[in-house]
Structure 1
C-alpha cells in the first residue's frame, strides 16, 4: 500500500471560499447611483473602467433604470440571477437585513464598504456589526469588511474599490487594515510604475480575516511577495503567526506595523518586565520569518526592492560612487545595520587599476573620483558584478558635468540587464536626478534618493534571507528530559494553586528549577535576625541576605522605580556583627513599608563572586496578545536591566535559543571575554530550552525570573529566582504534542516502535525514508514521478505547524546501528473552520503487511475526531487497490470521481451542530 492523497500545500480548503471574492463571475453593487460622492457609484465606475469581464448589476431602492450604463434593479428579489459577489454600499441601518436576504438567496460572498457599523445602537447596546454577524451565521455567507476600501485583482481586471486609481499588473499582493493608507500606496506605486497582483484592505474584518487572506496569497501562483499593513491585532495571535510562518517559507512577506495606540484602545497591560510593547511585536514577526518595516517610507522602499530585485545569492555588498561622501554615508548605514562589505578579490583589484585613477583606494567602497565619466561608471560596475566575492552592487551618483545623470543611468541599465547580480542605484539630487530615476523605474531597476534608503532596502532583503535560514535550519537531535522530575514540578504548582496562592515561595521556586536540572545556588531560610546570624556563622565567609515580602516574591516586580531592589538586599557581610546590623536595618525598612503578614522571612546565601562572572537576567513572562514569552538579557539588581531585555516566543530549539542570545549585549561581552565561547553559548541555550519546556509543560506558570544567573569558567548558576502563577496560558506558536506519542508493536515481526508526531529533527531520517520508497510508491503518493526532495521541501514536511497540519510517523530503533529510522507517515491537513481534513499515508515498501497502514490511519482518524473535525477525506489513484481496501476496512465510503479520475474516500467523524457547518459541508 502506498499513497492515497496528494497533500503538498497547493490548495488548502480554508481558502477555497475566497475565490468567490477574488474571482467572481458576477457582481451586484448595492447602493449604486450616479449622485456625486456616491460610494456605490464610484465602485461601479471603477469596475467598468477596469474592464471587468463578468456580469455587473446595480441595485438601488430608488428604482433607476441604469447606473452608468449598468442595468439597475429596485431590490434583491428583482435580480435576474443571484451574484457571486455582493458589494454593499447601502446605508448602515439596512446592511444587516440585506445580509440576511442575501444569505437566504444562497449568495456566498458579500463585501461591505459601508462604515460606522461598530457604533452601539440603543437601547440594547449592540452594534450593527454584531447584528450583521448574527444575520450571516445561519446561511454561511462570508463577509469582507465592513469599512474596507474594497479589492483590486489585476489578473481578473477587477477594481471593486473606491480607489481613485487602478493598480498596475504585478507580482506583489497587498493586504492592509487602513483604507486611506491603501489608496496612498496605490498612488505611490503607480508613480513608481510598480504593480500588484491583489490589493485590498480589511476594515473591521468581522469574518474574512487577515490569516485567511495571507493563506490565499501564499498559494496564489501570481504572487511572489506579500505586503501587510497592520494597525492592531484582531483575533487570535496563533492564527496570524501560523499563516505568516506558512507564507514566509516560500514567499517574501513584509509587515508595516504602526506603534500608535490611542488611550481608549489600551485594554491590555504590557507583559511584565517588558516596557516596550513594540519589542514583542518584533519578536513575534521575526519568529514568523517575516521582515518588519517601521515607516511608510521603509515600506515604499521595501516594495521598490522586492518587486525588482533578482534572487539573492548572498549578503556581501559592493559600493561605488564618484566621491567618498555618499560612500561613507552608505557604509556607515550598512555596518550599523549589521550588513557586510564585500572584500574584492585580487583579480578585480588588478582589473580596476586599469580603469581608475592611480590614487584610488584599492578596496571597497570604491571612489571613482569626481572626474568619473558614464563609461567609467559602467566599466567599474561591470567588473564588480563578475567578482565572486560580490553578491550585490550599490551604484551611487552625485551630479557633475563629467557624469550627467541620465547618461550614467543609461550605461548602468545596460550593465544591469546583462548580469544575474542585483544592482541597486541611488541618484542623489532632484532637478536633474528625477529623469534618471524615472529611467530606472521604466527599466525595472531599483532606485533610491539617499544612500541610507538604498542600504535599508538592501538590508530588508538580507533580513528576509537570514530569517529563512533560521526557519529552515535542521534542529539538533531531540533529547528526552527527566519525565519523573517534571511530574513533581507539576505537583508543586498544583499544590500552590490549591492553597489559593498565585506565587511560589522562594524555596519552592528553587525546587522548581532543580526539577528541570537548572543549577541553583544553595539557599538557607530564617524567620528573624537571630536565625540569619546563626546561619551566616555556620556558612562562614561573606554572605548575602534578602528579605522576602509580598512585592519581591513576584518576578519583574521591581521594574517600578518606587521598588528598588537594593532596599531588600544586604551583600558582602563577613562578621556576625555586620550581619546583625545589616539585617536589623532590612527589618526596619520592611516594617516601614509592609504589615507583618506580608513579610516572609529571610534568604541567606554565600556570596558568589569571582571567576569573571557575568550576570544574566533570564526567565518567562506573559503578554496579553502573544501569550508566554522568554526573556534574556543583562542581569543585576538595578532597573537598567530593562535596556537589554530581548524576547522570543516559545517553544525554542537550539538554533532559536542561540538567535535569542545573539540579539543581546550579553553575546558581545561573551564573544570578547569568554575563554570557552561555544561552551558558554551551549550552556545558555540549554537553559533557554529548559525554560521553553517549562512554558509548554506548566501552563499555569505565569512568570519566572532568574536574576542573576551567573556564568563563568565554572559553568552557570542561578542565584535568585521568583515565580508567579495564573490561569492556563495558550502559546502563540503550537508546541510539540508530546502527549500524542505511544508505543506500538509491528504485526508480523514483533518489532517495537513509537508512533508520534513528526519533529524538525526528523529531517535526515525522513530523507532516508523517502529514498527507500520505490518509484511506484512515490507515484502513488504524489500522483506523479518526482526526484529527491530538497532541504526546503524536507523542512516544510518535518517542521510543521501543529495547529494547521498533523503528521504522525512510526519510528523504530535501527537494527544494526545506533539511532532511529522512519517506517511510515500519515498526514492530515485541516481547514481553518475544522470542517474537513485531507489525509495522505505512505509506508516503506519492505514493511508491507506489518499493519502500519491501519495503525497510522487510525491514529490520524482518532486525532481529527478528538479535535472536532467533521469530515475525514482523501483521494487515491484508481490503480491503488490496497489503499481503497484499507479505507473500506476502516469504514470509509469510497466513490469514483470521473472528472479527476481518482477514487475519493470519506468518513464522517462528527455530526455538525450549527447551520453554518451543515452549509459548509454541502459546498
Structure 2
C-alpha cells in the first residue's frame, strides 16, 4: 500500500508509448489517438524499433536511449516477451512509472519457469519503478485532459472515481455513462496488479478533493486484505464507496478458497465490505444505477422516502420494493396532509405513497413535490410518472426538474415507458437529476445510499465501556496451544479445548474422559442419571467437521443412556464403529457428560474460522448436532466491540427466536454478545489458533453453556484484516508534580464519553491553540473519528488516570499522529487539560509518540502551532524539533527527522 510515484500516472508531464504504429489494430496507435483526441497538453513520444519518423504526428524513436528526455509515464503496448527488458531499461534510465496494456503476461505453461508478470516484477524491483497492469485498459483522467487507454470513446468530467479489475466491464461502463451524460474524475482498471494495487489507488483518489465518490469493481482481493480493508475504511469515512463484487470462481479452486465452516465465499466478502463501511451492489445493472445516484444525488439527510405517482400500480411496486429492502416510508405531517388536500382530488387516501390520479397535470406533480420538500418528516422524494394525455412525459419532466434543482431534498425520478419516456429521461440527465426506467430500480438506488448511511452509523457506534481482561488466564491459554504445537499436533484435545474456554470465562459443560469402556461405565455410575457418551477420534476432533450425507457434527454420539448396562452396550457399539472406520490409531477415547437438554434451551453454533483471504472470522448462527447449521451462518471480522457483537447476533435467525420466545431477550442478547467479545479476544490473543467451534452452545433461563467444543491450531500465525488494539503499547506512569499514578495508552472507541468530558474541560484558549480557531462541542461523528482509529494509519495516545473522587477514570491529555500511506511524514498534535500544566504530561506524550513513529520507520514527524503558543514551541525545541516560521500560513512549523531516507523517491517526497 503506497502512493509512491502515483502522481506520475495521473498527472504526467510527458508520456512515451511503446509499440505504437499506424497499422490497423495497433494498441499503441489507439492510445496515441486517444491522447490526441483528449487534447493531452504534455509532451508525447512514440517508441518502435521499426524506425518510424512519427506515429499520427507524434515523434517516434527506435529505442529508449534515443529519447530526447525520459518521460514521467511509459505506456507499454509491445509484444509480451519484450516487456521485462523494456522495464529494465526504463528503470536504468530513472523512469518511475510504467503502465502495461499488453495482455497474456500472467500465463504460465511451465511451473518451473517464471511467468512474464513475475519477470516484470523482478525487472522493476531494483529500480523502484511502479507498474500498473499488465493487461489493464489504461487510465482516463478528464481533469488532466488525458485518455491514456484503448477505450473506444473518451469520458466526461465528473466527481466519481471508477477503479476496476475487468477491462471489458470498464469499457462497457464508459459506453453506458456517456449515454447517460455521466462523468468521472478518474477511470482505470488494474489488470493483473503486478505492483500498483487496489489499496494504493483507493488511497490516491480518496485524497483528491474533486472526487466525491468511489465506484469499485472487484473480482477478488489480491495481496494484503489488511491494506485493502484499511484503505476502504479510510476512504469511506469521507466519500461514498460502492463495490460491485463479481463471483468468478475458477474450476477446481472453490474448496481451497473457502474457510472451514463457510459454505459460500460471498458471505465473507459481504462481511468484509460491510465492516469497511462501504455498500455492495450485486449486478452490473445495480452498478449502473448506483453510478446514477452517486453522480446526481446530494448527501442523504435521512432514510424516509416519500413516493408519488399518477397511479397506484407503480406506487405499489415502489413501496413493496422499499419495505422488502428494509427501507422506510415517510410519515407525512398533518400540515403537509392538509396542504396536499388543496391540490389533490377530494378522495385521495391521505397516506404515503401519494396517488396523483391519472389526470395529473405537470403542475399537480410539481405542486405536490414542492409541499413534500418542505416536510421535516421527508428526507427524499421519488417521483414516478406513467405517460397520459394530461401529463405528457417531457413537459412533466421539465417541471419536475425545476423543483428538484431548488429542493434541499434528494429527488429521484422514474419515467415509465419508452417512446415518450426516453426524451424525459434525457431532460433529467441533462439537468443532473437522477432518473430510472422502473420504480424498483429507483428504490434500489435509493437503498444503496441508505445502506451506506447505515454502515457508517454502525462503524461509528460508541462501544460499551471496556472491561479489563484477565491477562494471567490468557497466558495459560497460550501455554496450552504452545504445548500442543511442541508435540507436533494441529489440534487440541477435547479436554484442552474446554480448558481454553474456561480461561476466557466461557461456561463449559463438565466433561469426563476415559480410554476404555469400563472407565465410561464407572464415570456414568458416579454421575448418576442420564448421560451422553461421545466417541473421540480423528474424524471429530477438528472444528466444522460434518458428515457429507447427514450434515451432522457428531455421528458417534449416544444420548439419554441411564443404567450401566445401557451405557456399556452403547459405548461398545461406539467403539466398534470407530475401530471400523479409523482403526486403533484414530481412536482417542470417550467423553462422558450429564445430559443438559431442556425444553426451553436454544441451540447455537458459534466459533472462529480462518479465511484464506481475510484471515480470522467470527461465526455465529443456529446450532445443534443434527440440524443444517449452514442455513443460518453469519460472519464478522474481528476485533469487535459490543455494538458490533450485538449486530452479529441481530442479523441471525437466533435473534428472531429470542425475541419471540425469551422471557429476558435483552439479557440473552447481552450474554451472546459478551461471548462474541470473548471469542474476539481469543482471536487477538492466540494467533496460532486456526479454527474454533462451539456446537451446541445452549441458551436458556440459566444462561449460556458450551456443551461441545473443538479447536484446531497451526504454527502459522494469523494476521487480522483489521488492526487490533495494540495493548503492548500501554505504559504505567507517574505524574511529575502530584505523584498521581496514570497510564499512557492508545485510544479506544470506548473512550468516546470520557474524551467528550476531556474536551469540555479545555479552556477556549486551549481549544484555539489546538485547532487554530474557536469551535463548539464536537459531534458524535467527530468523536467517533477521533476515538475509533485505524491503528495502521494513525495513533492517538491518551493519559488516563483514576478520578480523584473514585468514580472511574478520566482522560488528562492526548497526542495524535497521522501518517501518510508511504510512512514518510507523520503529523502530530497534542493537548493537555488546563489544570494539569506542570505535571510533565506534554513531554511524556510527545516522547511516546516520537518513539512510536521512529520504531515504525516514519522518516519525519512534524506539526504546526500558532506563533503565540510559546509553550509548545519551547517543548518542541527541548525535544529536538527544528522550529521555523511559515509566512504563508502564519504558523510555526516544527519538524524532526526520525529515520534517514534510503531511496531517491523518499528524498524527493521530503523536499516537497
- 1:493-512 equivalences under 5 Å are 493-512=481-500
TM-superposed CA distance for 1:785, in Å, is 5.3
Q: Does 1:610 align with 2:598?
A: yes
Q: Which of 849, 857, 860 is the matching residue for 1:860?
A: 849
Q: Secondary structure at the match of 1:637?
A: coil
**Matched residue, 2:196:** 208
| Residue 795 to residue 96, structure 1, CA distance change in 2 (3 Å) | same
1:796-843 Cα shifts (integer Å, max 9, x gaps): 221111112222222212223513222222333344444554433333
Aligned-partner Cα distance in 1 for 2:589–2:109:
56
Q: Does 1:421 align with 2:409?
A: yes
- 1:250-269 equivalences under 5 Å are 250-263=238-251, 268-269=256-257
**Matched residue, 2:130:** 142
Q: Does 1:743 align with 2:735?
A: no
- Contact residue 897 and residue 904 of structure 1 kept, 8 A: no
Can you give the 5+ residue segments of structure 2 that lack an aligned partner in the other structure? none
Can you give the 5+ residue segments of structure 1 that lack an aligned partner in the other structure? 1-12
1:60-92 Cα shifts (integer Å, max 9, x gaps): 333333332333334333333332222222333
| Residue 391 to residue 160, structure 1, CA distance change in 2 (3 Å) | same
Aligned-partner Cα distance in 2 for 1:627–1:187:
38
Q: Secondary structure at the match of 1:411?
A: helix
Q: Which of 825, 843, 846 is the matching residue for 2:832?
A: 843
- 1:35-74 equivalences under 5 Å are 35-74=23-62
**Matched residue, 1:186:** 174
Q: Does 1:322 align with 2:295?
A: no
Aligned-partner Cα distance in 2 for 1:479–1:703:
25
1:873-913 Cα shifts (integer Å, max 9, x gaps): 5555666555455445445566677777744522343674x
- Contact residue 273 and residue 559 of structure 1 kept, 8 A: no
- Which shows bigger deviation, 276-285 or 530-539? 530-539
**Matched residue, 1:10:** none
| Residue 671 to residue 124, structure 1, CA distance change in 2 (3 Å) | closer
Aligned-partner Cα distance in 2 for 1:864–1:753:
22
Aligned-partner Cα distance in 2 for 1:369–1:881:
71
| Residue 699 to residue 910, structure 1, CA distance change in 2 (3 Å) | farther
- Contact residue 231 and residue 257 of structure 1 kept, 8 A: yes
Q: Does 1:170 align with 2:135?
A: no
1:483-529 Cα shifts (integer Å, max 9, x gaps): 22111111121122222221111122111111111112222223333
- Contact residue 259 and residue 610 of structure 2 kept, 8 A: yes
Aligned-partner Cα distance in 1 for 2:576–2:110:
58
Q: Which of 763, 771, 788 is the matching residue for 1:799?
A: 788
Q: Secondary structure at the match of 2:256?
A: coil
Q: Does 1:704 align with 2:692?
A: yes
Aligned-partner Cα distance in 2 for 1:283–1:271:
13
| Residue 510 to residue 250, structure 1, CA distance change in 2 (3 Å) | same
**Matched residue, 1:539:** 527
- Which shows bigger deviation, 884-893 or 278-287? 884-893
**Matched residue, 2:808:** 819
- 1:325-404 equivalences under 5 Å are 325-404=313-392
Aligned-partner Cα distance in 2 for 1:564–1:777:
64
Q: Which of 292, 296, 309 is the matching residue for 1:308?
A: 296
TM-superposed CA distance for 1:575, in Å, is 3.8
Q: Does 1:482 align with 2:480?
A: no
Looking at both structures, which has the greater relative contact order when contacts are Cα pairs under 8 Å and sequence separation is at least 6? 1
Q: Does 1:649 align with 2:637?
A: yes
- Contact residue 164 and residue 188 of structure 2 kept, 8 A: yes
Q: Secondary structure at the match of 2:143?
A: coil
- Contact residue 230 and residue 257 of structure 1 kept, 8 A: yes
TM-superposed CA distance for 1:382, in Å, is 3.2
Aligned-partner Cα distance in 1 for 2:328–2:906:
54
- Contact residue 893 and residue 907 of structure 1 kept, 8 A: no
TM-superposed CA distance for 1:280, in Å, is 0.3
| Residue 267 to residue 184, structure 1, CA distance change in 2 (3 Å) | same
| Residue 682 to residue 910, structure 1, CA distance change in 2 (3 Å) | farther
Q: Which of 711, 718, 731 is the matching residue for 2:720?
A: 731
Aligned-partner Cα distance in 1 for 2:696–2:109:
54
| Residue 368 to residue 894, structure 1, CA distance change in 2 (3 Å) | closer
TM-superposed CA distance for 1:752, in Å, is 1.1
- Contact residue 3 and residue 822 of structure 2 kept, 8 A: no
Aligned-partner Cα distance in 2 for 1:837–1:559:
54
- Which shows bigger deviation, 300-309 or 851-860? 851-860
Q: Does 1:905 align with 2:895?
A: yes
- 1:748-763 equivalences under 5 Å are 748-763=737-752
Aligned-partner Cα distance in 1 for 2:553–2:127:
59
TM-superposed CA distance for 1:201, in Å, is 1.1
Aligned-partner Cα distance in 1 for 2:566–2:251:
50
Aligned-partner Cα distance in 1 for 2:92–2:794:
34
**Matched residue, 2:268:** 280
TM-superposed CA distance for 1:686, in Å, is 0.5
Aligned-partner Cα distance in 2 for 1:632–1:116:
42
Aligned-partner Cα distance in 1 for 2:898–2:596:
63
- Contact residue 567 and residue 586 of structure 1 kept, 8 A: no
Q: TM-score, normalised by structure 1?
A: 0.93
Q: Which of 151, 157, 163 is the matching residue for 2:139?
A: 151
- Contact residue 558 and residue 639 of structure 1 kept, 8 A: no
- Contact residue 171 and residue 225 of structure 1 kept, 8 A: yes
| Residue 384 to residue 37, structure 1, CA distance change in 2 (3 Å) | same
Aligned-partner Cα distance in 2 for 1:908–1:392:
51
Aligned-partner Cα distance in 2 for 1:898–1:367:
63
- Which shows bigger deviation, 551-560 or 897-906? 897-906
- Contact residue 624 and residue 695 of structure 2 kept, 8 A: yes
- Which shows bigger deviation, 324-333 or 875-884? 875-884
Aligned-partner Cα distance in 1 for 2:421–2:95:
53
Aligned-partner Cα distance in 2 for 1:331–1:533:
64
Aligned-partner Cα distance in 2 for 1:450–1:769:
52
- Contact residue 380 and residue 411 of structure 2 kept, 8 A: yes
Q: Which of 649, 671, 682 is the matching residue for 1:683?
A: 671
1:309-358 Cα shifts (integer Å, max 9, x gaps): 22212212222233333223222222221122223333333444444445
Aligned positions, number: 910
Q: Does 1:442 align with 2:436?
A: no
Q: Secondary structure at the match of 2:792?
A: coil
Aligned-partner Cα distance in 2 for 1:637–1:812:
49
Q: Which of 205, 208, 223 is the matching residue for 1:220?
A: 208
**Matched residue, 1:660:** 648
| Residue 782 to residue 19, structure 1, CA distance change in 2 (3 Å) | farther
- Contact residue 865 and residue 910 of structure 1 kept, 8 A: no
Q: Which of 576, 581, 584 is the matching residue for 1:588?
A: 576
Aligned-partner Cα distance in 2 for 1:336–1:700:
42
1:388-415 Cα shifts (integer Å, max 9, x gaps): 3322222222333333222332332233
- Which shows bigger deviation, 308-317 or 856-865? 856-865
- Contact residue 243 and residue 278 of structure 2 kept, 8 A: yes
Aligned-partner Cα distance in 2 for 1:882–1:268:
59
